[in-house]
Amino acid sequence: MENEAPEPALLRTFTPLDGFKKDNIAALARKTTIRSLEAGRSLFRQGDTDKHTYYLVKGAVQLRADDKVVAVVEAGTVESRSPIASGTPRRFTAAAITDIQYIAIESDLLEVLMIWDQTGSYEVGDLTNRNPVVGDDWMTTLLQTKAFHRIPPANLQAIFMRMQRVSTRAGDVIVKQGADGDFFYAIVAGRLAVTRETPLNREGIKLAELGPGDTFGEESLISDAKRNATVSMLSDGVLMRLSKADFAALLIEPMLHWIDFDEAATMVASGRARWLDVRLPSEFDSWHLPDSLNVPLYFIRMKLKQLDPGLPYIVVCDTGRRGSAGAFILNERGFDAMVLKGGLAVAGTALKT
C-alpha cells in the first residue's frame, strides 16, 4: 500500500476531510500517497516548522514534549480522526511506537481546498469538465503553486472559470521577446525554456527552465511593457492561460503590497528588510539607494537562490512599474516582497528634504 494513492473513502474517515464534496475529495486523493515509517523513527520533532498535515492510517504514535510522553495516538480511534498534533511550530515530537502508515498533505493546499470547498459554488469536477486535461488534475496542480495561496476564494473561483486550456508541442514559441503582453500562463505539463536576445547574442541567452507549477508572462502585464524574454516549449505540454484583463482584475491586487518610503526606510535601517533594485546595471550604477541589492528584472528568476527567503524585500525601480513586476514574481515563489510606492523618484525627493 506504501506510496499508493488513498481511496476517497479512507480520506473521509478523517476530519475535516469528511465534509469535502465528492469530486473535491477525489481530487485530493489523486494528490496524496500513503507512506510508511519504521517503529522508533520520528514523524516530526518538537519545534519543527514543516507545513504538512499528518493523518495516521495504521499503527500507533507517541507524542512527547520535553522528553515526557503526553499522549499515544492509535489508528482507528476517535483521536486518530484528527490531524496528528497539528500546528507549527510543533508542540510535540511524534515518534512511531510500531511500524506505521500515514498520510501527509501540504497544509497550504489543504487550507485552500477547504476554503474552495466551503465557499465555491463550483466543485473541482465542474471545473475539470470545462477544462479537460487528460491524465492530470490541472486545478489542484495550480493550487499547489505559491502564486495561488494568496488569492481570495472568490477570485480563485473566477480565475479557474476564466482560464483557457492550451495544448502545446515541442518547439512552440509561447511568448516572444518584444511582443505585447496578452496572457498570464501557468504550466500544468511539459517543460519550457526562457531565453533573452542581446545585441551580442541573437540566438538568445538561456535565463531559466520552467516546469509544472511554474508561471510566467506576468512582467509585461503588470508593467504594461513589451515582453522581455522568449518562452518556448522544450517538450509537448499543457498550459492554462488567463487574459490580461482578467489577470489585472483578479491576480495583481491580492499579490502586491505597496509601501511608503518612510516606512520602507525604517524597515531597512532596522534590518527588518532590504532594498532590491530591479533596474538595469547601468541605471543602478548611476544612482541607487544605499545598501541596495541589484537584480535586473529579467534575471530575477535565475537569482532566486541568492535571495534570503526569510528576509522581506522592498522592490524598487524608477517609477514602480518594474518593481511591481519583480515583487509579484517573488511573492509567487514564497518570498515576502513589497513595492516602493512611487519608485525611486519619490525616494530621491524624500532623501533631499
Pick the CATH number of 8-108 from 2.60.120.10, 3.30.70.360, 3.40.50.1110, 3.30.420.40: 2.60.120.10
What is the mean predicted confidence (pLDDT) over 288-308? 90
Contact 222, 251 (CB under 8 A): no
Structure confidence at residue 136 (pLDDT) = 44
Of residues 262 and 109, the one with the higher pLDDT is 262
Global confidence as pTM: 0.58
The contacts of residue 302 (CB under 8 Å, 6+ apart) are: 207, 208
State pLDDT tens for residues 132-154.
443 345 666 666 666 666 677 66
Q: In terms of CATH architecture, what is 120-253? A: Sandwich (2.60)
Pick the CATH number of 256-352 from 3.40.50.11540, 3.40.50.460, 3.40.250.10, 3.40.50.10680: 3.40.250.10
d(CA 317, CA 227): 18
- H helix count then E strand count, the chain: 13, 20
Contact 111, 103 (CB under 8 A): no
Angle made by CA atoms 153, 86, 96, in degrees to the nearest 5: 140
Query: Per mean pLDDT, which of 100-109, 226-235, 315-324 is the most reliable?
Result: 226-235
Domain boundaries, given as residue ranges, for the chain: 8-108, 120-253, 256-352
Is the pLDDT at 97 greater than 80? The verdict is: yes
Grid cell locating 330:
517573488
Q: Concatenated DSSP letters for 96-115?
A: ESS-EEEEEEEHHHHHHHHH
Instruction: Report, in angstroms and rounded to the nearest whole number, the Rg of the chain calculated over CA atoms.
Output: 23
In a 13 Å sphere around the CA of 272, the CA atoms on its Cβ side amount to 7
Q: Can 8-108 and 120-253 be said to share one CATH topology?
A: yes
Structure confidence at residue 159 (pLDDT) = 82
d(CA 212, CA 202): 28
State pLDDT tens for residues 304-335.
889 999 999 999 998 888 888 888 889 878 89
Structure confidence at residue 134 (pLDDT) = 38
Q: Concatenated DSSP letters for 163-179?
A: -EEEEE-TT-EEE-TTS
Strands 313-316 and 34-37: unpaired
Pick from 172, 163, 177, 167: nearest CA to 192: 172
State pLDDT tens for residues 80-92.
999 999 888 899 9
Structure confidence at residue 121 (pLDDT) = 42
